[in-house]
Structure 1
Amino acid sequence: MKYLHYVTDRTSLTTTLDKVLHLSTLLAADQARFERETGLTSARIHLLWVLGLHGPSTQQVLASALEVTPRNVTGLVDGLVASGHVTRQPHPSDRRATLVTPTASGARAIRDLRESHADLAQQLFADVPASRLAAFDATLDETIATVTRLMKDHA
């Protein structure tokens, strides 16, 4: 689907915003393709990514990292247990807690996520000069901070 950038005002600021929105649309389409290929939802992919970063974790830790409720994590973990990506193991030092641990299939999915992430970064930015990449990164940081503030202001 082509982004409808031609319907907007052609000022520099709106043109830049149009490009950001177009990029967001393209990345969302790529994410949807990855979800179809893996059979995993975006939320389950995110949970696996967190497990890849932190290793076996309690559902409470996962809820905090994902910024969702523990109940929400329970549903995600249930789905990943059913699909064979994770198991629940007794916590070695807390009888009340369980550890969510990737299975071999989950570890493969995490590895594939990391490789896909690294490959896309390489394809997008490998040829960008360091000074331009640093400036782009700084602009993204500022933009993310502004959007975050605006969302809080309108919540």
Structure 2
Amino acid sequence: MTSPDPDGLLAEQLLRLTRRVHRIQKHHLQQRGLGVTPAQARLLRILAHCDTSPRMADLAERLEVVPRAVTTLVDGLEASGKVRRVPDPTNRRVIRVELTDDGQEALRELRGARVSAAQEILAPLTGAQREALGSLLDTLVDGPPAPARGRTC
């Protein structure tokens, strides 16, 4: 008989939690009728934190996805009027992405959806448990220090 693999069990719990968080966030987004997927919501949040309109390649790096995935996300957000593509003023071949007024409004709604989803997900935890979880998650998310790279947003 083999003994249980504690690290494997933890990894499975994290995966199950990730799927649950995704499902709950999607539900809260749908309730608000924004027509935005969780991935699109993440892209909007990244745009909101950028000092300048980022290039598509910058967005792909920040989202940790291939550039083609960003193109699909931007296509959907552009079709709904939440972002627009703009030419780079110094290089015509480079396309940048910026939020529109509708995108800014969507972000306000998204914040409300995130708060509601977080409250639902964290409801079973006490304040002390939430603090401990936050600290543990920071440790896991940060991981070992990575080499410094320039970020545009």
TM-score of the two chains, using structure 1 as the length reference: 0.64
- From 37, 42, 47, the equivalent of 1:46 is 42
Of the three residues 90, 93, 108, the one matched with 1:96 is 93
1:26-45, Cα deviation, whole Å (9 max, x unpaired)? 42332221342321222212
Report the number of matched residues.
Answer: 136
Q: Which moved more, 1:41-50 or 1:136-145?
A: 136-145
CA distance in 2: counterparts of 1:134 and 1:95, whole angstroms: 48
2:83 corresponds to 1:86:
yes
Runs of 4+ deviating beyond 6 Å: 13-19
Partners of 1:21 and 1:62 lie apart in 2 by: 25
Letter in 2 for 1:44: Q
The alignment's C-alpha RMSD in Å is: 3.5
- Could you give the per-residue CA deviations for residues 44-75 of structure 1, whole angstroms, max 9, x where no partner exists? 12211111121521111111111112222112
- Larger helix share, 1 or 2: 1
For 1:98 and 1:64, locate their aligned partners in 2 and report how far apart those are by CA, in whole Å: 15
Question: Which has the higher Rg, Structure 1 or Structure 2?
Answer: 1
Bigger relative contact order, structure 1 or 2, given CA contacts below 8 A and separation 6+?
2
Q: TM-score, normalised by structure 2?
A: 0.65
Q: Any idea what the Cα deviations from partners look like across 1:107-152, whole Å, max 9, x if unmatched?
A: 1112222343356557848x715xx544322223445578xxxxxx
* Partner in structure 2 of residue 128 of structure 1: 127
Unaligned residue ranges in structure 2 (runs of 5+): 1-6, 144-153
